[in-house]
Structure formats: structure tokens, C-alpha cells
Chain A
Amino acid sequence: MSPAILFQKLRFRLAGNAFSLLWNHAWWRIVIMGYCCAVLWGFLFLLSSHGFHELKTRWNIPLQQSLIDLPFDMFFFTLTILLIFSTGLILYSSLFAGRESEFLLASPMPDDHVFSYKLQGAIAFSSWGFLLLGSPILMAYGIEVRDGAPWYYYVAMPLFFLGFLLIPGCIGAIACLLVVNILPRHRKHFLVGFIVLVIALAVYWGVSWYRESRNFGVGSRPWFESFLNELSYLGGRLVPYHWMTRGMRYAAIGRTEAMLYNLALVWSHGLFLYVVTVWLATKLYRRGFNRIASGGTLRKKYGGHWMDRSLTALLFPLDAQTRMLIVKDFRAFRRDPAQWAQILIFLGMGSMYFLAMRRFYESDLRYSFRIGISLLTLIATGFLMCAYTGRFIYPMLSLEGSKFWILGLLPLDRSRLLVGKFVFSAIGCLVAGQFLIVFANYMLGMPWLIVVVHSLTIALLGLGFSALSVGLGACMPNFRETDPSKVAIGFGGTVNLIVGLMFLTMVVVLLPMPLQLFYVQSENLVLSPDMVPWYYWIGMALGVLVGVGTIIAPMRAGVIALRRMEF
């Protein structure tokens, strides 16, 4: 049996066994995952349909002409960058930090086949989100363009996707191999530097465009045209994402020859890059494995970092033991690039959001529109906090599993473990959340009452999400798992996410939403609190009660579970 077939057989066997296990023991998780994907897909599809319809009818933009290439170029360009990063990062941990790699490299399997198996896995893992995001947009485009795209447009869509995925995937893989081989000691610095460079370029582009377009007024046709002009330099004839864009457009308008030409371009370059990457792996993979194991410094001195000292100083009101536990968690977090790299991406997206806010500030937006954006910002910040606590805070107690005998035997009340994690989480949520909300509301020119209510909402959400993640993390720990992302998507993590989203919905519906609607109805930004009807205040008080209950109940349950825990 050839190694390629053997690896495919292994992959299918592993996937099949994992699916059967999940189906037999937690079928509802598959249903929930499918449901969530369907909801997200449907939402994106409706949004895209509406957007394309508006472009076609209200703005009279012909969807079949090359003007539409520009936003698609932007979309595929962004996805290219994201895929290069995600494939490179996934491949790095899979090729050089996984025990399976060591097992396979000590076997007689050829290096290029081992690499190829890992590369295919990394591309598949990093691109499922791409398919989830890209397919509804292209489906909506196909329906809205002219009188609807021909049938083969929908057939060509997955073919274009599959071919295209190889290109950024292989670029990420080549970058990963080169960094490991050339800079084994400085790969972390290289990664951070590169992310900073990409963010800086994006910010520079945003600022330049803002300066040029601010006179047009947000939402006007000249503003939109200026946006499209900015994108035009992304759409060079030699860039693969432009082949995607053109190929899909030609398929949509029935120009089959041009579609096939672009499809051939995508696939030939994808396959060529794949061959080059695998050939490179025969030369560099095992060498890189050796370099990464023996090329770095032998012993590095740890401790005494200024960030740890600053955090210790900041936590002065807490007792020494709780402080020590918080600093321990922070130290473990900052030493794990896989963890903080994701926070860095969050921050990058936040920076871009701030830039967008500036435009809202100086543009002539309708009053109700601004109120709506303010509420959406609050909800988005809540989502971000929910995702952050679910992904990073919930697994923290489970990750203590292997060393729980140390923590369990410490001469301190186990509740301090939870309090430490709660404070660690709450500080991050409150600092980032409050800054974002106050800044966004200020930029939108919101009245102080809305700012105060939003600030209160964010405080309740930040504390509530932290309590939920810490408390439920203690009630449903998974001490066998060492990968935090797997803990986060496990049973407890899913429950935590669902409860978190329910909590977010309740708090938003009870606290800020009625007030925002009241402001919209009254069309008066200078309302004083005594002008707000009494029943609005009752709703808000209920929201606060829900928030406080969500802080206390899971923490209490977590403390009880932790005190009873055997180890």
C-alpha cells in the first residue's frame, strides 16, 4: 500500500471513529454544531442577498460587471492572509510540536508523505471557516446577479474553493518551513513582527482612505466609489484571489470559457505550489525538526518579567496567595504563543474597528442609525467577551488537572483558586470592554445616560461571563485533556457557551435595549433620567438582578464542586 493511500485510510478511520464516538455518546453536540453552522450560514446568506439586492436596485451597480470584482478581491485577499497565517500556525504545531510527528519521523514513512498528510490536515482545519463564510456570499451573488447564475456556477464554486485553498495553504507551509529552518531561535519574534507589520499596513491603508474619503460622507455613492478605487490595486491580473473573483463572475454570467480558464489558473498554480512545497519538505522538514530541537538556546532563564511584576503590583488589594495564583495563570498564558497570538488577532480587529468608529464620528449619520450602531457595538463586545472567556478562561481549571495534586494540597482554601481565576478573567474583560464601549459611545456622540447604562451592562457581562466560565469550569472539569481548545469545544465548554449567550441576550434585552428604543422613539438625545418612564427602570433593575445572580450562582456552585473534588 502506498504511503499516500495509507495516510488517507488512516485519516478516514480516525475521522470515522471520532464521529461514531461522538454520535454514540453526545449526538446532541453534532446537532448543536450543525444547527449553529446552519444559523450562521443562513444569516450570512440573508445579509449578503440583501446587500447585493441593495447594490443592484438602490445603487444601480451592475453585479455582472467588473466593478463587483473589487469587493470580492478584498474579500478573497483578506481570506488569503488569514489562511496563510492559520495554516502556517496549525502546521507548525502539527509538524514540530506534536508527538505524532515524532512517531512518524521515526518510522520508515517518507518525509514528504508525512509532511503532505500534515499539510492536508492543516489546510482542511484552517479552511472550514472559509467555506462557511465564503459559500453563502457567493450563493447570494449567484442568485442576485442578472436573473440568476446558470447551474454550473454552483458546481464551479466548490471546485474554485478547493483549488484556491491550496495556494494560501502552501504559502503558509513554505513560510513555516523557512522560519523554522532559518530562524529557529527567533521564530516567535518573527511571527509577532509579521503580525504587527500586517496590522500596521491595514491601519495605514485605513487612515489613508479615511483622509481621502471623509469629505464624501459615509454611505454616499462617491464614498463607496472611493472605497472601490482603494481596492483596485488589490486586483492585479497576477494575483490568485483575482482569478477566483473573475472566475466566479464569469461563471455567474455564463462565460464558460473564461470561467474554465480562471479555474485552470487557480488549480494549476495551486497544484504547482503544492508540488514545490512538498519537494521543499523533503529537504527541510526533518532538518527543521532537528533545528528546532537543537538550534535554540539550551536553557533560558525565566521569571522576573516586568509584566509579572506590574500585575503583582496592580493586584495589591488581594491577599498574597490569590495574587500568586493570578500571576501564575498570567505567566502560563503569556508563555504560550498559541494563546496570546489569538488575543493579538482580536486586538488587531479591535484597532480596525476603532478606525471605523472615527468615520462614524465625523460623518452625517442619522440619529437612529447611530443609536443602533451603539447597541450593535455593545452586543459585539459582549460576544467577544463571551468568546474570550469560553475559549481562554473556561479551560483553565481543567488544565490544572495534571498538577492538581499540588494545588489540592496547598494550605489554602480551594475557593481562592476560583477567585484568582475569576479576578484574572474579570480584569481582562472589564478593562478591554469598558474602554471599547466608552470610546465607541463617545465617538458616536451618545448621551451620558446611554454611556452609563452600557458601562453597567459591560460590567455585568464581564463579571458574569467570568463567573460562568470559572464556575462551570470547576463543575465540569476535563482533567484528561491537555489542549485548551479541545476543552473549550467539549461538553462543558458547549454548555458554557450556550449559557453565556443566553445570559448576554437576557441582559441586553432587559438593560440597554428598552432605553435605546425609547431614545429612538423620542428622537431626543438630551433626555434626562426623570423623563424615562418608571417601567424602563424596573426592566433595568431586573437586568441587574439577572447579572448579579449569574455572577454569584456559578461561582458558588464552582466552589462547592471544587471543595468536594477528589484527586
Chain B
Amino acid sequence: MGKPVVRIRDLRKSFGTLEVLKGVDMDVQKGEVVVILGPSGSGKSTMLRCVNRLEEPTSGEIWFEDTLVNDAKTNINQVREHVGMVFQSFNLFPHLTAKGNVMLAQRKVLHRSRTEAERVAEEQLRKVGLGDRMDYFPAQLSGGQQQRVAIARALAMDPHVMLFDEVTSALDPELVRGVLDVMKDLARGGMTMLVVTHEMGFARDVATRAVFMDGGVIVEQGAPADVFDKPQNERTQDFLGHIR
């Protein structure tokens, strides 16, 4: 195996006196699709947000390729350029159209020309199936469409890894599929992905590895089929028993 894209070592994070992450270690290789499962409060979202330092780790190390992410000397903006993130609440910029959302960071961060940014935006929006919605404002789109715009927005930056933070949790059931299909295409295309989700079907189909977290630590990990069908840990068994 080559050098991991993301390497996490003894990651700890406390909010005040509450310790949410109690020492997490994880390597993510290029092309891996890692699905992170666990009950709410297990620290999975916090871990994901530490990767691009939306949360400041309390201690431990997070490496992105050759960069120590949580080093004061690191230009975090350069890391974030290459780490795409999609949020549960979409967070599209409401004052910009779908195309405008996808173009903004290309223009301001990558300094692409307007024509180039526009070309990339149109290409990415077509890929997520929104070729006919480019000039719509977020409020004129359904939740599923908004989330696909958010994915296109992240992909337009040519990220080396994508972070998905419960991206289907806020969607009506009938809209979930469109978003998952986009993610599946992305996974099959070889994108390195860290996915926090409750979608077991997606995890089974696409994930190369399933990680089960509870109480701020990784309890169990392995091939999805193994983790789902033959869970070793009692807490994993309990959790899977509940959501099935």
C-alpha cells in the first residue's frame, strides 16, 4: 500500500469537560471508501470535521498527504482546497444560483477564469444530473437537488478526498436515492471518500471498509460484509440490531 491520503493518530477532542473523541487512529488509502457508522454522540461527525479542521483537535495528529493538518504553521486553506466536504444541511449559498455556487470557490481560491470556472461548473452539475437546473437559486430546488449541487460544488475543486457528513439525513426518503446514486458513481470512479451515514445499503454496495464508532473510539472495523453480518463487538451487534 502507498502513502495514506488521510492519517489520523490518537485524535482527541473535548468540548469543555466533555471528551468526544478519546483517541482515534485511522488510515485512509487512496481510492478507499470508508463508511463510518455509530450511534449519535459517538463522535463520528466530530472526527470528520477534524480532518479539515472545522473542529480544532485537542490533541493527536491529523495528516493530509504530507501535511500535518493541525499544525499552527499549516495554511489550512490550502488543505481545505483539496478536501471536499458535503454537509447534512447542504449549506448552499442562497444568494447565488446553482452554477454560481459551484463557480465561486473556483474563481476565488483556484483563480480560474470565468469561462473555465463556468465550464467546470456546467460539467459537474451535469454529472450530478442537474444540467437543467444551473440557473436556479437554492430555494427553487428540492433538498435532494440542493445536496447534489453541494456535491458538485465540492467536486469542482478537484479534491483528493471527499468528506460526507450524514448528507442524506435531512432528505425526504424519496430524495435520498438520487444523492446516493451520485455518491456511488463517485466511489466507482475511484474517489477517496469518508462517509458518515446510516445508509446500510449504500455501505454494503460501495464501501471498501466499514468503521463502527462508539463513545469516542473505533470499536470495530473491517470489510462491510464482515462488520454487518458477523459483528464481533457487543456494541456493534447492539447498534446493528437496532437499525435493522
Q: Do A and B come from one complex?
A: no
Q: Could you tell me which A residues sit within 8 Å of B by CB distance?
A: none
